[in-house]
Amino acid sequence: MTRINELPVTEEMNLVTAVTHTLRQEMQRDPSVRVMGYDIGPIGGVFRATEGLFDEFGPDRVIDTPLSENGLLGVAVGMAIRGERPVIEMQFLGFMYNAWGQFIYNLANLHQKTGGAMKVPVTIRATFGGGIKPLPFHSESTEAYLMHTPGVRVVCPSTPAQTKGLLAAAIRSDDPVIFLEHTKMYRAFREPVPVADYTLPLDKCRVVQEGSDLTLIAWGNMLHYAIAAAADVAAKGNASIEIIDMCSLAPLDVAPVLASVKKTGRCVIVHEARRTAGPGAEISALINEYALEYLKAPVKRVTAFDVFFPENQIEDAYLPSSQRIKAGIDAVLSYQF
């Protein structure tokens, strides 16, 4: 596995510039890589993630498409079967439901039913998550729908350096990959990202911080809220918290989670997806199934609520905050059977 901090030359990037940098590098490396989507050409996409690529690679490899998610994904599946490696920009995860037929019947099913013999190397980039107060259907966090679909990988980076390694690996993978980019994180912070070519494993979670009293699991933007809550708890000397970035959502990398829970005996799972049948429910079930005897308290979920994403005025109350996460941590730490 590539160790990012051992690669010498770095450049300060935020998450969206890391996406642009990686797309450019992969297109230079492999002529079969093409990017497609609505307004991704001269305009550079709704978040400017493809800015400059049209001028560099031309209209045959940076393809503006009509606003038709179903058509976009159907064309990408056909191109992939013929040997191309299309990377499509779905703009927002909430728009992907329009392409659900192509997603289920063709993208996931063709690859799964042939046992991987039919390669469908499509990468779907989709923004997700709340926090920027946009229009309706622009803040969906429905990764559980994707995780429930056999035959596709679902990954979700939480840092610019991780974005580069995971996106490069997704594009090179022969499996269909859904690459979730959190909108609030696009320009939230910068960090040094190695300029050299590298990939990260698509099926591994990441232990961000080791600890001994409680396992805290999150991904995407919620990871940063979880880190802030854990730091607050640690500053008061209340507990040593192990933090896991569940950047691989399908397949779930459950072994490190179980190992951590067997060590700490406590677990809190954080996500901004809806609570019922959300990703946290599956992770909690796996812990109960394989590590029940190690638990010192019930597994707790800190999530969004079981309603559609609300209007801007109450968005902050809908999303889990560091305060809500901290309350969940305190409840688990103080629990007694």
Amino acid, res. 87: V
What SS3 state is found at 214?
strand
CA-based nearest residue to 49, from 12, 84, 21:
21
* Measured distance CA(265)–CA(297) in Å, rounded: 7
- What b-and-e string marks burial along 278-317, b requiring 16 or more CB atoms within 10 Å of the CB? bbbbbbbebbeeebeeebbbebbbbbbeeeebbeeeebee
Residue type, 218: A
CA gap 127, 181 in Å, rounded: 5
Residue pair 172/189 in contact (Cβ under 8 Å)? The answer is no
- Distance between CA atoms of 13 and 194, rounded to whole angstroms? 10
Respond yes or no: is residue 138 known to be catalytic. yes
Positive/negative CA dihedral, 24, 88, 2, 5: positive
How far apart are alpha carbons 244 and 206 in whole angstroms? 6
Tell me, what DSSP letter sits at residue 60?
A: T
Backbone angle region of 66, left / alpha / beta, with phi > 0 → left and psi within -120 to 50 → alpha: beta
Compute how many other C-beta atoms are within 10 angstroms of the C-beta atom of residue 11. 13
Q: Which residues, 6+ apart, have CB-to-CB distance to 123 below 8 Å?
A: 85, 86, 87, 88, 167, 170, 171, 173, 176, 177, 179
Q: How far is CA 120 from the centre of its chain?
A: 20
Rounded CA-CA distance 268/215 in Å is 6
Q: Which residue in 21, 111, 138, 271 is the catalytic one?
A: 138
Q: Which residues are catalytic?
A: 138
